[in-house]
A and B are shown apart, each in its own frame.
Chain A
Amino acid sequence: MSNSIKNLTLKIWRQLGPTVKGAFETYNVDEISDEASFLEMLDYLNERLISDGKEAIVFDHDCREGICGTCSLMIDGQAHGPQRGTATCQLHMRKFSDGDSIVIEPFRAAAFPIIRDLMVDRSKFDRIIESGGFITAPTGGAPDANLIAIPKPVSDAAMDSAQCIGCGACVAACPNGAANLFTGAKVAHLNRLPQGQPERFKRVESMVETMDEYFGSCTNHGECEGACPKEISVDVIALLNKDYRKAKFASRKDLAR
């Protein structure tokens, strides 16, 4: 049977808008089931705030299955909280104990301005994908799916990095606010596949340059990998850098071969 966790102290960041000064507010949760998820604990708190006539705490969330990438939160200074390889929505209260004090903040990065409370604007990620994170394959002209055999290890490696959920934990965890893990994951997914070869170098060039417009630079701290709910390896950053260097130094005509 489920047990309950008692006397939680929550210090939660409240901020009305991007240009308004924010501050921590303290809330107590007397008792919550250890079967509850972290976000269900916030739902419960919000219900109480509404019944007290106060405004609910704003936070992004949707699927609650760890796949849509909508949820965020810095929990005690860690993006998505203490459990490795787990998005906030999949974090459960059984990971906490009676009397714990928990600090809850939004993802903080220059490229992710705060919209309200714990909600941030991550649309710069979309700008990176729009600049090259795709394979140009207009609807209708595709050849038979089994025409090109793709070695299983290649396909598996592409899948490993394609798992990125675009949550932004990598950026939030990075002391530089860099988006190299996010960008590298998409580049590694597409550049590894035979279908991705024709645009391989154009892709990496435009994605890196778009990324550099908004985000900080990578200095190999590796915090991103530790925070990633999909445990995407920093190896993708090596691949990103390798392809970017190649794109910059070699002749485009040679690369196309």
Chain B
Amino acid sequence: MSLTEDLLAQNTVQLNSKIPLGSIEDKWDNYKADMKLVNRNNKRKFKVIVVGTGLAGASAAATLAELGYQVDSFTFHDSPRRAHSIAAQGGINAAKNYQGDGDSVNRLFHDTVKGGDFRARESNVHRLAQVSVNIIDQMVAQGVPFAREYGGLLDNRSFGGAQVSRTFYARGQTGQQLLLGAYQQLARQIGLGGVRLFNRTEFLDVVTVDGRTAGIVTRDLVTGEIESHAAHAVVLATGGYGNVFFLSTNAMSCNVTAAWRAHRKGALFANPCYTQIHPTCIPQSDEFQSKLTLMSESLRNDGRVWVPKNPNETRPAHEVAESDRDYYLERLYPSYGNLAPRDISSRAAKRLVDKGQGVGPLKNGVYLDFNEVIARLGHDVVQERYGNLFEMYERIAGENPYDMPMRIYPASHYTMGGLWVDYELQTNIPGLYAAGEANFSDHGANRLGASALMQGLADGYFVLPYTIGNELAPLLGKTIPGVDHPEFKKAEQAARDQYNGYLNIKGTRSPDWFHRELGKIIWDRCGMERDEQGLQQALSDLPALYEEFKTDLRVTGDGMSLNQTLEKAGRVDDFFQLGMLMCRDALSRQESCGGHFRTEHQTDEGEAKRDDENYCHVSAWQWGGDAMSPNLNVEPLEFEAIHLATRSYK
């Protein structure tokens, strides 16, 4: 018996992924043909709460309101337009085959499953590839100014892990333009009264009554007031948990709180150890650094990655002769070259830096060189393609990339793990959904570039508006618990106690100090490479540091006014608990796959070695009462349309 079967027999929760019948191509159509509908006039009788206003949240809230549902939208930002989707630079994938280079829904599906190292659920990924084409149509109709050819048609570029050109982009600000598109659609609904917006309001808890989602508890960040909101369904579109590393490319306020508190209320958390380290970020310059900045992967279309062959090289980059350079990605992965997928490129950079071949004052980077493309196409063409990224680099690093190669190094960027959801994007708590980066659904153990925007918009525009109706239809005419229900009161009181608790510790260290220390442990032990000993060490260091957090935290100010230190304390608390689960998950998955690289499990050539016999499953963890005692549940992954194969980019 394989380990997967063994574990399956021990599941503590019945996991039904609700994959529709039929061939892979027909599943989504079959689902839509069979799903229950809510009559247009009845939709206004249902209240849906959407937490988060990034691509997934804004598109879901807008579309649900267009359909006629009453929608309440929550963001902790001052405006829905601030969500971190806005910072995505490179582009969005879609199987349009506008370039006539052999793309198709099937190929995008294959690339995504392979890119995810065969650890995603086939049916969800295929649906994603199917609706990808609708996203581009929708966004163009909304006025998103995608890049165009001189003839007026849409332009594409290539991204890592694909041999076709299927990435649509708006200069280096694709995420911004897509988010503003979705935000404008949401704004229209707010203006029409279909959506009520709660800005500067943070989600604190999900409330369940008799096992079903009844609503949420929030904190008004300006007044400190804790309030309840009842609804028929709740969507968490609250992003990923990359900030568990402290230094990451995530925005400062990105956090795991919403997903984590849902987890503590019974929602399973899947594959937390699948985190993505992005290969092209600006290296850390000093101890003060608060976050890292990404340089779009699109730069690898034209930039060539190299390090000097000699670790003691002292010449500036442009004086190093061609023969003294190691273009290691082109050498190791000739067919994908500089466009090898993110996990593979990141590890290659780490190994060279670890061997002492790093560049820059702290020898903590590799070169990304545009000399060749500037010589081939000219300064102007390069400026047209990447101008704003080059400017951004110069502002941060103080060097001009037209003359000097960029210095880059991997950093935490995206998290593939997240709340476990079924085919309908519903968690195991009825009425609670998770969309976008907050769920674990589509990217397996590694996400391909330009696929996060695609997934966020697919979930919000084209999946949830259908699947939520299927859940709500049977609730017509039934009353739901109101905010005066004791469960709401209990959750409100727990939230007040929690925040007063932070204020009453009166220790010596700030939340940021603990966050930084937590981040160091996670980066060292559960970052780009992991091993049993390191993970065991983390699982003994983390509870000790967490104990210190609970007894030595200092939060100044009070709870009844705007207090950013207090907000941060709650988020760091949740990161501690998540960090322990991440390490536990990484320890239990004794194979390497995608972003999860266990040094004990690698091929002779240093590539990830999967163990399909024992680990071809989703690890979905159930809260066991405290952070150190979760219960493992597994969902076996079955590959019918795609043959399980070794992932090779050579």
Chain A interface residue bracket vs B: 35 or more
Contact across chains for A115 and B87 when beta carbons are under 8 A apart? no
- Of the candidates A121, A123, A126, A149, the one whose C-beta lies within 8 Å of that of B152 is A149
Q: Is A9 an interface residue, CB under 8 A from the partner? A: no
CB–CB B79/A123 < 8 A? yes
Q: What is the distance, in angstroms, from A244's C-beta to the closest C-beta of chain B?
A: 19
**Which of A121, A145, A166 contacts B137, CB < 8 Å?**
A145
CA separation between A125 and B392, bound complex, in Å?
A: 26
Tell me whether A123 and B154 are in contact (CB under 8 A): no
Say which one of B42-50, B180-188, B533-541 lies at the interface with A: B180-188
Does A251 count as interface, using CB distance less than 8 angstroms?
no
**Would A62 and B84 count as touching, CB distance under 8 A?**
yes
| Structural contact, A67 and B143, CB atoms closer than 8 A | no
Main secondary structure of the interface of A (DSSP, over half): loop
Among B143, B150, B153, B177, find the residue whose CB has the most chain A CB atoms closer than 10 A.
B143
Q: How far is the CB of B354 from chain A (nearest CB, A)?
A: 21
Q: What string of 1s and 0s marks CB contacts (under 8 Å) between A42-81 and chain B? A: 0110010111011110101111111111100000000000
- Identify which of residues 5-53 in chain A touch chain B, using a CB-to-CB cut-off of 8 Å: 16-17, 32-33, 35-37, 39-41, 43-44, 47, 49-51, 53
B191 contact from A35, A130, A137, Cβ within 8 A: A130
Query: Which residue on B lies nearest to A47, using beta carbons?
Result: B510
CB B138 to nearest CB in A, in angstroms, measures: 5
Contacts A33-B286, A92-B396, A134-B187; is A123 near B199 (CB within 8 Å)?
A: yes
The chain A residue with its CB closest to the CB of B60 is A139
Q: Does B588 contact A (CB under 8 A)?
A: no
Q: Report how far A143 CA is from B139 CA in the complex, Å.
A: 11
Q: Is B251 an interface residue (CB 8 A)?
A: yes
Contact A40 B140 (CB under 8 A): no
A155-B153 Cα distance, complex, nearest whole Å: 10
Residues in B with CB closer than 8 Å to A159 are 145, 170-171, 177
Asked if residues B190 and A67 are in contact (CB atoms below 8 Å), the reply is: no
| Chain A contacts to B: CB under 8 angstroms | 1-2, 16-17, 32-33, 35-37, 39-41, 43-44, 47, 49-51, 53-56, 58, 60-70, 83, 85-86, 90, 92, 94, 115-116, 119, 121-123, 125-126, 129-131, 133-146, 149-152, 155-156, 158-159, 162-163, 165-166, 189-190, 193, 195-196
- On B, residues with C-beta under 8 Å from A are 59, 62-63, 66, 77-84, 86-87, 96, 98, 134, 136-143, 145-154, 170-171, 173, 175-177, 180, 183-185, 187-188, 190-191, 197, 199, 222, 251-253, 285-291, 293-294, 361, 391-392, 395-396, 398, 461-462, 465, 508, 510, 512-513, 554, 556-557, 561-565
Q: List 17 A-B contacts (CB under 8 A).
A: A37-B396, A47-B512, A49-B556, A56-B556, A62-B84, A63-B251, A68-B81, A86-B395, A123-B78, A123-B199, A126-B199, A135-B143, A137-B141, A143-B137, A145-B154, A158-B143, A162-B177
